[in-house]
Chain A
């Protein structure tokens, strides 16, 4: 088990995609200290920015623990395929970008683009996540393609944009455009959600259990549902309004919105 302790409060953006179990695997601690990272425009070695300590561990899995604030450190766990990263603090942008397997746990908040274009594995965030959770890079039309992201706090805008598969669960609130242009997969928001949820979605499932600011005019009411399955053994209790959309893209995505939390939507009932 490797433990990383930031040696200072970082001022400049740190780019450190070497902080990944795949990279640490089979490396001696000395080699790990010598891995390349960038601090602003200066190339550094990991050992300059972090105290690296090894500790006993029971599993054979590569585990990296980061102790402290790494909110300026970007690309932690990018491309990882196995192992585990646990961050005791806040983490920076692009956490677990394009990850394919393994697990990242953050006991704090994370920046934007966490789990961007992820293909597999799991990210669990105990604090809040920024914008573009699981969403792709600029111009890319493939978002999350597998795996699971769980956020216990709130998320910013465009969570799950361009999602093709996988699950995102948000136990707090979500910003605008959750599930933008999604094609498949599931997004669950336990609390409140800002407007434009499911914009341009073609398919897939979005469940809002809290208050939803507004439903886009391009969604049509389809019915009422008592409960909805989130994944395997988890269901959300309703009743829910079921909307289909986005008709602006001839989409047939399913948007479930809590009936009890959203009295302003009861005007749709007359259409049922």
Chain B
């Protein structure tokens, strides 16, 4: 039996259970939150004068898998000045924007994060992704297989065979130990197979009788048929191009009719990159207002920020045609890896500069989105790590969201023209700790459909973060630097009921589970026979060698899903 633990007297922010900073105790036994524990025996954390929140949840961060590793390999210059020494409890590692796996886990844990979602898994490379996730300690984790350009999806959807498509997706989700349906520049990635791209929702995908709109709608229907806990997770067409906010609006609109009961049916990821107005880089403007207006008036969408921070980083997405454009734009080195029958990936090192008009606008757009969208349950804090900056920048972003002064301090240092075009000076909103708790854990867990995460109700996983901030004494608007510092190093991080980090020091190396969906459909066998027949035509590996076996996951945490088919 694991130890009992009680966290006393903290100011608890637990949005899912409506707790908004009340002083209370949190009791833990066997890795779960419980009603009460034996107070004399339980280990005690004195959290008086501190914030207590559910452990952080990250809905979108590229921390593991073939593309991340290709990024690591590409960039020794990213690592050699960012080394972490081996200690009695921790493994060594290196890396700034693409850290090695052990280091990634420790850095998340130091910030009080306990669950993360790795949003881009080429299905053929799923074994690789899971091996890396096995080596990413301290956090529970899941991965989203890239399905928007998979030939099976394109073919079945173009023939209107939604149910059959759903069966294949169910098979693939379970075989690759995936967690959600990821769609990246639908159609464009397939077109990239011959060096092309698609440019609107209604352009025909070369060689396939389908359009991006049909892919998005089709997979949205599939997602609903399968009852998956998260919505489709979409990286829009035209990402990173001036004027693309209209594509984003259209993308959200195109599934409007598929929504019911005020439930989200689509997640637009790293929305900052898809909220550009203007016709070229010179005339770039923010499309945040238009997007926020739409989101404020609809309930079928969630978003995450993809907030830019000014630093050297590594961009990596399955949107390989976009990455190629970035390579041409910057002249930086470029890695591309197309994956047969499924997807692709591109990687380009990148530095966001304060003095660049475009980069400064991007910085502003991310924050505008977060502040103009009224409901924090609809937009989450991410940097699309490492695309807009490494996840270690989250505390800085929290301080921008909570403090106008923090925003102004940065605003003073950015490109002049961007200062005059930014909408930020007109925005007075400053988020409070409750809203931060929603955007960094509760909202993300809810959007992911993670029932035991992101809250501190009885029965929840005992993943808890304690921060050295006294919300009664501290004014985050003024003392934003203290806020930043406190979120950088949690006073305590509790994972699965154990104290794993204290004041930034890792006390215990724990593995963390891999979350995946075991999707049950009524007719599974038929899929397999058809699959086997076509497998050799589509891939260059044997059908039997394709799936990820459950015992290859160090700690497997299957989530049963009953499909409607």
Q: Classify chain A: how many residues form its interface, as a range.
A: under 10
Which of A7-15, A120-128, A135-143, A148-156 forms part of the interface with chain B? A135-143
Chain B residues 36 to 86 lying within 8 A of chain A, measured CB to CB, are: 74-78, 80
Bound complex: CA A13 to CA B75 (Å): 25
Least CB distance from A145 to B in Å reads: 15
Bound complex: CA A138 to CA B75 (Å): 8
Bound complex: CA A138 to CA B77 (Å): 7
Least CB distance from A78 to B in Å reads: 12
Bound complex: CA A112 to CA B116 (Å): 43
B333: A residues at CB distance < 8 A: 141
Residue of B nearest to A142 (CB): B77
Residue of B nearest to A138 (CB): B76
The CB with the most chain B CB atoms within 10 A, among A139, A140, A141, is that of A139
B77: A residues at CB distance < 8 A: 137-140
A138: B residues at CB distance < 8 A: 76-77, 80
Task: Please encode chain A, from 224 to 260, with 1 for each CB lying within 8 Å of some chain B CB and 0 for all others.
Answer: 0000000000000000000000000000000000000
Least CB distance from B477 to A in Å reads: 39
Least CB distance from B419 to A in Å reads: 29
Bound complex: CA A138 to CA B80 (Å): 9
Least CB distance from A228 to B in Å reads: 29
Bound complex: CA A210 to CA B78 (Å): 39
A137: B residues at CB distance < 8 A: 76-77, 80
Least CB distance from A139 to B in Å reads: 4
B74: A residues at CB distance < 8 A: 139
A139: B residues at CB distance < 8 A: 74-78
B75: A residues at CB distance < 8 A: 139
Least CB distance from A180 to B in Å reads: 15
Least CB distance from B198 to A in Å reads: 31
Bound complex: CA A139 to CA B72 (Å): 11
Least CB distance from B312 to A in Å reads: 11
Bound complex: CA A268 to CA B314 (Å): 44
Residue of A nearest to B331 (CB): A141
Least CB distance from B19 to A in Å reads: 48
Bound complex: CA A140 to CA B78 (Å): 9
Least CB distance from A212 to B in Å reads: 29
B80: A residues at CB distance < 8 A: 137-138
Bound complex: CA A140 to CA B349 (Å): 11
Residue of A nearest to B81 (CB): A137
Task: Please encode chain B, from 316 to 353, with 1 for each CB lying within 8 Å of some chain A CB and 0 for all others.
Answer: 00000000000000000100000000000000000000
The CB with the most chain A CB atoms within 10 A, among B74, B77, B80, is that of B77
Bound complex: CA A1 to CA B76 (Å): 38
A141: B residues at CB distance < 8 A: 333
Chain B residues 135 to 165 lying within 8 A of chain A, measured CB to CB, are: none
Bound complex: CA A163 to CA B253 (Å): 52
B76: A residues at CB distance < 8 A: 137-139
13 contacts between A and B (CB under 8 A): A137-B76, A137-B77, A137-B80, A138-B76, A138-B77, A138-B80, A139-B74, A139-B75, A139-B76, A139-B77, A139-B78, A140-B77, A141-B333
- List the 9 closest pairs (A to B, CB-CB), nearest first: A139-B77, A139-B76, A140-B77, A138-B76, A139-B75, A137-B80, A137-B77, A138-B77, A137-B76
A138-B76, A141-B333 given. 9 additional CB < 8 A pairs? Answer: A137-B76, A137-B77, A138-B77, A138-B80, A139-B74, A139-B75, A139-B76, A139-B78, A140-B77
